Structure 1
Amino acid sequence: MSTAKCASLLKQEFPSIDVEMKQYIEGVLDSGMDDFDSSDDLYDAIGVILHEVSEEKSENDIRDLCEQLLCLMKPSENKKSGTQKVLDAPINIAEMAANNITNVTDVSSIWVINRDDNLKVDSKKLEKAQQKLQQKQDKRSEAPKAPVMPLQLQTATASQVINKKESQMDAKGTNRSMDIRIENFDVSFGNKVLLQNADLLLAHGRRYGLVGRNGLGKTTLLRMISGKQLQIPAHISILHVEQEVIGDDTTALNSVLECDFERTRLLAEEKKINIEINVGSSNPELNKKLTEVYAALENIDADRAPARASVILNGLGFNKDMQARATKTFSGGWRMRLALARALFSRPDLLLLDEPTNMLDIKAIIWLENYLQNWPSTLLVVSHDRNFLDTVPTDILHLHTQRIDVYRGNYEQFDKTRTEKLKSQRREFEAQLAHRQHVQEFIDRFRYNANRAASVQSKIKMLEKLPELKPVEKEIEVVIKFPDVEPLNPPVLTLNEIAFKYNKDKVIFTCVNLCANLDSRICIVGENGAGKTTLLKIIMGILSSTSGTISQHRGLKIGYFAQHHVDQLNMNTTCVGLLQEAFPGRPVEEYRRQLGGFGISGDLALQLVASLSGGQKSRVTLAKMCMARPNFLILDEPTNHLDIETIAALGKALTEFKGGLVLVSHDERLIRMVCKELWVCGNGTVTNIEGGIDYYKQLILAELNEATK
């Protein structure tokens, strides 16, 4: 009954309250009835939410409402029992005792209350009640706990219109076309529609770059294609590089060679036939079969396969020693490189790559760009690396507003064409709008003029027949803003003769001398394993250097963005909840404002972290890092998973940031936008490159050319 009264009071005070918000508040009142001892406790529980519902009400209004709700919830506790006597004047207890006053009726009324004997506690009954309560608690503790249900995430679904002719050809095995046509298809993720009535044509031999904002469904589309949830011709082989290679005793080189299933089958058959011949088998067919196997091996260039696999592995950073190591000895990042090497070696009819540059250093990226330019079959790649998209694709697929538009050329050409297209659409929209307004003015002016009645009617009909006026699509601009900081006198961070080694034999670097101030913009580059992340962890104090010293300004406050930041996020909470865990006790509006500054706004801020795209998780991590208001940023591969627009916004924000910066990145565009100093990790030390990123790329190209000779 009290809950209904509370609900009625809420509806009365907040007529426009959202149904879900009202149900949430009622749930808090119902479940926490015994926990609220005062109106202050109730205000702490629901005060912030009530302020969100109505900004017009003051804090005193909300506190008064909480008092009323508490009275409705606990009416018996708020009723005054017994008679109270208000004293006419203060009483001096000590003086009364000294004067031996015997008639202290007035005084006793202050603290003495005569209780009925029926209300006194029976000690035996109390003991029995306590025993029963203890037994119940023991049973609860012994009872098996309900199993913890795993986190249920929404899944993607797809539907499409099937081409009957192609389906019949597939069924008969007569379809030989290598082009892929997916027509009139929809893709949804839970209740969110990602693509609607979309068409996708992938011509054989073309290289497609799939671009679009974070969270629009690029990765989901690749998974729909690779999982055959979107139907494509059955004879076309697909390989999606998504999962890392499972580690075992197989060497890296053999792991790649095993991808050629025909070669592996023929070699196994050759070995089997040779064993039978060596043991003295008299079967005359064996020599004939062996000749056929040798001819088949020669036809597929089996002898050249190990050399081709070695070239691919070497280009992706695996030296000769690493190629001979077992796959189980490699970290997750290197196993992902191994998965990419297997895909490049097997050459499927359709290769799907999702952010392939995320796991690579600049040297490996340059090699991969050159290798993919000669890719013989169809390639569909999702990437946010602007330089990679300018080099590899022959076509750009732009995913936006639940559809896919196709543009010929690389990303630079796409950007120019799309900009001109939007300008043209804007001019056409403005011209149509002006024309409509002109016609409407004529109609309004002569609507009641009998001499112009025919003309007015003609204009009205013409206006009705005009096509629907659609405004020009305008994407929301991504804005990132880092906190304002107070200046600190230099130097703020100094590394003196820093050395580090994991063991006696594995020396990462020695004699590292690094000095950084609040105006420093340092980018650290180098091959994977050269010690870039290790150096950052030493600066952060996560690792201790073998020798040397680190000096920091006492006012230095570092914000650290880890390369594998996703592993540090609580996937079972919302974005707002994540900030609440890290920075408790602040208004919800502050958390939402902080997330909104990094593009996580609206309903997105209330989604589970696990349901976000990789780029959205990165932005949540940046928002969390900046909520502590650091004055020095250490960012380890911050562009992984971010879309091109967000990377540009990040570069602009870092340029405007008044604090210091040490950045590890392979994104050439971001390095050019932000960094003033380039430090190269390699050969056991860290050196400053005067020529910047252009000179560093020249060194890499020279090294790659030397290796191919």
Structure 2
Amino acid sequence: MALINLRSLGVTLGAPLFSDLNLSIGPGDRLGIVAANGRGKSTLLRAMTGSFEPTSGEITRSRGLRIGHVEQNLPAGLGDATFHDAVLDALPAEQAESESWRVDVALGELDVPDELHQRRLSQLSGGWQRLAMLARVWVTEPDMLLLDEPTNHLDLARIGQLEDWLNALPRDVPVVVCSHDRAFLDAVTNRTLFLRPQGSQVFSLPYSRARAALDEIDASEERRFQKDMKTAQQLRRQAAKLNNIGINSGSDLLVVKTKQLKERADRLEDAARPAHQERSAGAIRLANRGTHAKVLVTLDDAAVGTPDGTLLFKTGRLWIRQGDRVVLLGANGVGKTRLVGMVRQAIEAPQTAGEAIKATPSLVLGYGDQGLSDLGDDDTPLGVLTRRFELGEQRARSLLAGAGVGIDMQTSMVGRLSGGQKARLGMLVLRLRNPNFYLLDEPTNHLDIEGQEALEKELMDREASCLLVSHDRSFVRAVGNRFWLIQNRRVVEVDGPERFFAEVAGRG
């Protein structure tokens, strides 16, 4: 029996986000919702809860249905509460007084360490804040869970724990997940909704298999469209020939036949529908100026430590050669970002970097960190380009528009951009630097699936050399051709990432 039914549902905010959507969600459903940034996923979740009124259609919910909605951002004012009290506050007053033990149960199920229970949320990482929001919802014992980008800010270990927790939920509790994490969707869903302005598609398959089915449908529709348009053109050419013959011969029969052929062509063209073309949230393109050097970076047993001098690990003797796409693997906090910073220093300021890490002098660096700290929130996108590069204003505006930063946002503060727009602006800055070596720390943060796939394609098509850190398993699998694992205070080269992924998720 369905717990929620959506009938002919549509939302238009300036332009249609989605329309004529029919969907039922019942016990046992684990539904993944996939769409580009800003295309209606969060709006659809709010419509399901009743907090947003759709433009058209209707939603029916089973009587007494309790929906638990975990949104993307921490509610205002909650940062000053401790982890424990933030969850306790979600319970009704009478229940909070007599059944506070429910909080400890919820925190235990989510593996929240005891030492964090009395820490203020504002003092915790974004990942712990997201788990606090999930605990606040779960402690109320909802009949259905709606999760909006639940893996944001989570490291691989926490993503693995979240996957295990979701898969261990009672099967009668349906879960609806909006996410750009392809591996996560494959691990926790059994249905997939591809949300589109028209013709949204639902499959009883997890993401990757559903995506393959969707691509085949789109390809088939495109073939049918091209065939119909070709047939219509042939009919019009035949009609034109018959029309000329009819005029010269004065044949009324040929005039009638000409009219019939044109009408058939009109009907074909009116009925033909091109395959869905996803409107891009902004292009991602990279550059690779190349270099004659074969060995780009040499690490000669470099010691990587904390700011206070505590040794984290030593690298051993390693090389990065032209064409290497090296993925740095290791548990959270083991020092991956510290090593990336040391390599950056060796390229940009070799005189201060010491002898243990050497970069060939011809390297031109393209660096991007997970916080996009190179883009000041008080600057404007137009200012970022015109001050850093020799570009006229018109050229800069055109590049920004192509990257998904519209005219209306180009002179606004960078801090007002969405995460996806800011990430694409960062990629545009990297491209304009025209590097021949990339250092990328969590480059897929804030990118939708289209952006992730575009970045993967650019790195491989450009044969870019890079050292990267990422929690995105699909991205790592697609891009990496060498893998360095930090373990036991050493860096060892491994054949692939799968064993590490399994171990960090507690499944090794």
TM-score tier after normalising by the smaller chain length: 0.7 to 0.9
The one-letter code matched in structure 2 to 1:530 is V
Residue number in structure 2 paired with 1:207: 30
Residue 109 of structure 2 is aligned to residue 311 of structure 1: yes
Residue number in structure 1 paired with 2:377: 570
State which of 496, 501, 506 in structure 2 corresponds to 1:692: 496
Distance 1:619 1:347, change over 3 A: farther
Residue 362 of structure 2 is aligned to residue 555 of structure 1: yes
Residue number in structure 2 paired with 1:632: 437
Distance 1:687 1:344, change over 3 A: farther
State which of 140, 159, 165 in structure 2 corresponds to 1:371: 165
C-alpha offsets along residues 320-352 of structure 1, whole Å, 9 cap, x if unaligned? 444564545423443234323444454534433
SS in 1 for 2:491: strand
**C-alpha distance in structure 1 between counterparts of 2:464 and 2:407, whole Å:** 32
**C-alpha distance in structure 2 between counterparts of 1:456 and 1:552, whole Å:** 73
Distance 1:691 1:581, change over 3 A: same
Contact 2:163 2:184 in 1 (8 A): yes
Distance 1:537 1:442, change over 3 A: closer
SS in 1 for 2:286: coil
Residue 6 of structure 2 is aligned to residue 181 of structure 1: yes
Based on CA coordinates, which of the two structures has the bigger radius of gyration? 1
**C-alpha distance in structure 1 between counterparts of 2:359 and 2:343, whole Å:** 9
Distance 1:663 1:346, change over 3 A: farther
Residue number in structure 1 paired with 2:52: 229
Residue number in structure 1 paired with 2:226: 430
State which of 198, 208, 223 in structure 2 corresponds to 1:412: 208
Contact 2:32 2:191 in 1 (8 A): yes
Residue 277 of structure 2 is aligned to residue 474 of structure 1: yes
Contact 2:2 2:24 in 1 (8 A): no
Residue number in structure 1 paired with 2:312: 509
- The worse-fitting range, judged by mean Cα deviation, of 477-486 and 219-228 is 219-228
**C-alpha distance in structure 2 between counterparts of 1:256 and 1:686, whole Å:** 40
Contact 2:296 2:319 in 1 (8 A): yes
Residue 378 of structure 2 is aligned to residue 582 of structure 1: no
Contact 1:580 1:586 in 2 (8 A): yes
SS in 2 for 1:400: coil
**C-alpha distance in structure 1 between counterparts of 2:383 and 2:260, whole Å:** 60
C-alpha offsets along residues 557-599 of structure 1, whole Å, 9 cap, x if unaligned? 32221111178343663x333311333x422455356557x74
The one-letter code matched in structure 1 to 2:434 is R
Residue number in structure 2 paired with 1:268: 97
Extract unaligned runs of 5+ from structure 1.
1-175, 270-296
SS in 2 for 1:579: helix
SS in 2 for 1:388: helix
Residue number in structure 2 paired with 1:591: 396
**C-alpha distance in structure 1 between counterparts of 2:485 and 2:44, whole Å:** 38
**C-alpha distance in structure 2 between counterparts of 1:600 and 1:546, whole Å:** 37
**C-alpha distance in structure 2 between counterparts of 1:329 and 1:640, whole Å:** 21
Contact 2:330 2:486 in 1 (8 A): yes
The one-letter code matched in structure 2 to 1:210 is I
The one-letter code matched in structure 1 to 2:108 is S
The 5-angstrom pairing of residues 306-455 of structure 1 reads 306-312=104-110, 314=111, 318-323=112-117, 325-376=119-170, 377-401=173-197, 404-447=200-243, 448=246, 449-455=251-257
Extract unaligned runs of 5+ from structure 2.
none
C-alpha offsets along residues 439-481 of structure 1, whole Å, 9 cap, x if unaligned? 4344333342224445445545555555433333334786623
**C-alpha distance in structure 2 between counterparts of 1:227 and 1:664, whole Å:** 40
Distance 1:676 1:441, change over 3 A: closer
**C-alpha distance in structure 2 between counterparts of 1:442 and 1:518, whole Å:** 58
State which of 32, 52, 73 in structure 2 corresponds to 1:243: 73
Distance 1:566 1:244, change over 3 A: farther
**C-alpha distance in structure 1 between counterparts of 2:377 and 2:329, whole Å:** 30
SS in 1 for 2:453: helix
Taking structure 2 as the reference length, what is the TM-score of the superposition?
0.80
SS in 1 for 2:145: strand
**C-alpha distance in structure 2 between counterparts of 1:686 and 1:340, whole Å:** 36
The one-letter code matched in structure 1 to 2:388 is A
**C-alpha distance in structure 1 between counterparts of 2:228 and 2:127, whole Å:** 54
**C-alpha distance in structure 2 between counterparts of 1:454 and 1:549, whole Å:** 86
**C-alpha distance in structure 2 between counterparts of 1:215 and 1:452, whole Å:** 54
C-alpha offsets along residues 202-258 of structure 1, whole Å, 9 cap, x if unaligned? 4133222221233434345445656812266585434233223734463x4x24751
C-alpha offsets along residues 187-208 of structure 1, whole Å, 9 cap, x if unaligned? 31xxx41425442534133222
**C-alpha distance in structure 2 between counterparts of 1:333 and 1:462, whole Å:** 60
**C-alpha distance in structure 2 between counterparts of 1:203 and 1:586, whole Å:** 52
The 5-angstrom pairing of residues 153-192 of structure 1 reads 178-181=3-6, 183-188=8-13, 192=14
Contact 1:523 1:664 in 2 (8 A): yes
**C-alpha distance in structure 2 between counterparts of 1:226 and 1:524, whole Å:** 41
Taking structure 1 as the reference length, what is the TM-score of the superposition?
0.59
The one-letter code matched in structure 2 to 1:420 is E
**C-alpha distance in structure 2 between counterparts of 1:249 and 1:606, whole Å:** 37
Residue number in structure 2 paired with 1:5: none
The one-letter code matched in structure 1 to 2:125 is S
The one-letter code matched in structure 2 to 1:353 is L
C-alpha offsets along residues 97-126 of structure 1, whole Å, 9 cap, x if unaligned? xxxxxxxxxxxxxxxxxxxxxxxxxxxxxx
Residue number in structure 2 paired with 1:289: none
The one-letter code matched in structure 1 to 2:370 is Q
- The worse-fitting range, judged by mean Cα deviation, of 628-637 and 470-479 is 470-479
**C-alpha distance in structure 2 between counterparts of 1:566 and 1:180, whole Å:** 44
Task: Give the strand-richer structure, 1 or 2.
Answer: 2
Task: Give the helix-richer structure, 1 or 2.
Answer: 1
**C-alpha distance in structure 1 between counterparts of 2:102 and 2:47, whole Å:** 35
Distance 1:328 1:438, change over 3 A: closer
- The worse-fitting range, judged by mean Cα deviation, of 615-624 and 552-561 is 552-561
